[in-house]
Structure 1
Amino acid sequence: MLNRPLVIYLGGMSDAAIVTEWIDLKVGNAVMAAYAARPAEPGDYPGVVVGHEIYGLHATARAATDRLASLGAIVIMPDLFHRVAPRAELELHTDRERGLALLRTLSRPEVVDDVSACLDELRRRGAVSANMVGFSAGGHVAYYAATQLPIAATAAFYPGWLTNPDIPLSTPEPTIEATPGITGRITLFFGGQDPLIDAEARDELEAALSANDIQHEIVVYDDAPHGFLFPGRDWYRPEVAEESWSRLADLLRG
């Protein structure tokens, strides 16, 4: 399923053209689809794995992947649901329960295998560093992957369930308990009005990261809701989103 690469010019985001394509990656005995984007011009670029939300390979997640590439990165977004719903692209709101059901099919060993396959592909493509960015449920995947794999920098946007065992990814013990395994830098982005992640959970994460001397930053936008980053949604907050993108660009530059 290797499609012909497509060159895109992202006006307003970057003057640089990017190349996008769908690729297939081998994961154990399975084949996993992934969406890939990179700058059109050759160069030494960091590599980024993207963890998508419960809505799968949605257009907004692909747009975020494109924007990461426009910042100057080789980016791969794996299909985390490939074992049960290949190439799922769910409708916002209306497919939320379906997305949560798919999320509950993910196991820790499987997501580590998926991210590892992407890291291998990034190295094959010449990426100069290995990083990960995740959104919501994908932010949880990114946090856990950072505890298991040599990831230089991780950015997780409003990752839920890190401090409780409410999803299989956060069992048998909450994912926060794996924090000592993080070897790189990590930045967590939250909205202060997010009903899914309260101040107590944020404080627990701060305490765990500090106790383990992990280079980190927790960014809280007091008036922002969950999911503030992606345009085209009621909860999109343009000013907060742009400030987040600026911080993200700095994180990837090292």
Structure 2
Amino acid sequence: MSERAIVTEWIDVEVGGAVMSTYLARPEAPGAYPGVIVGHEIYGQHESALAAAERLAALGVTVLVPDLFHRTESRARLDWTAEGRERGLELLRTLGRADVVADISACIEELNRRNATAVGMVGFSAGGHVAYYAATQLPLNVVAAFYPGWLTNTEIPLSTPEPTIEFTSGITGRVLLFFGGLDPLIDAQARAELGKAFSDNGIDHELVVYEDAPHGFVYPGRDWYRPEDAEDAWARLVNLLRG
């Protein structure tokens, strides 16, 4: 995958009779490309998520960033502040499993309509949880999740009534998970439980831990950004998408 010119636009994707505003980034040159759905953080369709989509598109991928909070607050774009985090958590608590299946199914259909050669998903934080759950329910050929939280507990509606990890056997594609060793949201025990779930179910997977990295280390512009770890993670993600 070499860097190439891209085009971006906002499109409307229909979900259950409603409209979900979705950011599209794709190579400018016509052709059939792999499709990737990006699951955003609790901060919504923030510039950082859109920039990640554009970076993926430049590799030769058609990317959709769906508005996972569209049922409650359309096109939320929250600040990286305590207030933004609290509002983001409120929005996350409105998201259920049926919502995720509906939203990601609609994106898969849209990518297939655009002749995607395959469809995978990349998620960040809460969006990583969305990607993980979606992969247990839908035909995604790859799933990559950056520091996905709450997979082994029942602290958010998306991980109830049973923890999302219990659906791991439904994953049919390859899995790549990234964690920060200093992340208090996903400790060593949770990582070990995830690794065991993959191994027990014979799932092709890799768990990468950056020991000195905190939660959210991959996005530039934040105090917790770790450039070396972020670039290593991106390189691994590119290799995953190359297949």
- Following the alignment from structure 1 to structure 2, what is the Cα–Cα distance between the partners of residues 145 and 241? 24
Once superposed, which parts of structure 1, at least 4 consecutive aligned residues long, lie more than 2 Å away?
A: none
Aligned to 1:89: 77
- Following the alignment from structure 1 to structure 2, what is the Cα–Cα distance between the partners of residues 227 and 84? 24
- Following the alignment from structure 1 to structure 2, what is the Cα–Cα distance between the partners of residues 188 and 145? 15
Give the aligned residue type for 1:164: N
Q: 1:245 aligns with which of 215, 234, 237?
A: 234
TM-score (norm 2): 0.98
Q: 1:77 aligns with which of 59, 62, 65?
A: 65
Q: 1:146 aligns with which of 135, 143, 149?
A: 135
Q: Does 1:27 align with 2:26?
A: no
- What pairs with 1:51-70 in structure 2 (closer than 5 Å)? 51-70=39-58
In the TM superposition, what whole-angstrom CA distance separates every residue of 1:168-214 from its partner, at most 9, and x where no partner exists? 00000000000010011111000001111100000000000100000
- What pairs with 1:205-244 in structure 2 (closer than 5 Å)? 205-244=194-233
**Contact 2:22–2:64 at 8 Å: present in 1 too?**
yes
Q: Kindly tell me the number of residue pairs found equivalent between the two proteins.
A: 242
Q: CA RMSD in A?
A: 1.1
Aligned to 2:147: 158
SS in 1 for 2:44: coil
Q: 1:39 aligns with which of 22, 27, 38?
A: 27
Question: What residue ranges of structure 2 are gaps of 5+ in the alignment?
Answer: none
Give the aligned residue type for 2:171: I
Give the aligned residue type for 2:179: F
Aligned to 2:181: 192
TM-score (norm 1): 0.94
Alpha-carbon distance, 1:29 to partner:
1.6
The percent identity for this pair of structures is 69
- What pairs with 1:166-205 in structure 2 (closer than 5 Å)? 166-205=155-194
Deviates more, 1:141-150 or 1:64-73: 64-73
- Following the alignment from structure 2 to structure 1, what is the Cα–Cα distance between the partners of residues 14 and 4? 30
Alpha-carbon distance, 1:15 to partner:
4.2
SS in 2 for 1:95: helix
SS in 1 for 2:11: strand
Classify 1:149/1:142 alpha carbon distance in 2 versus 1 (closer, same or farther; 3 Å). same
- What pairs with 1:84-163 in structure 2 (closer than 5 Å)? 84-93=72-81, 94-163=83-152
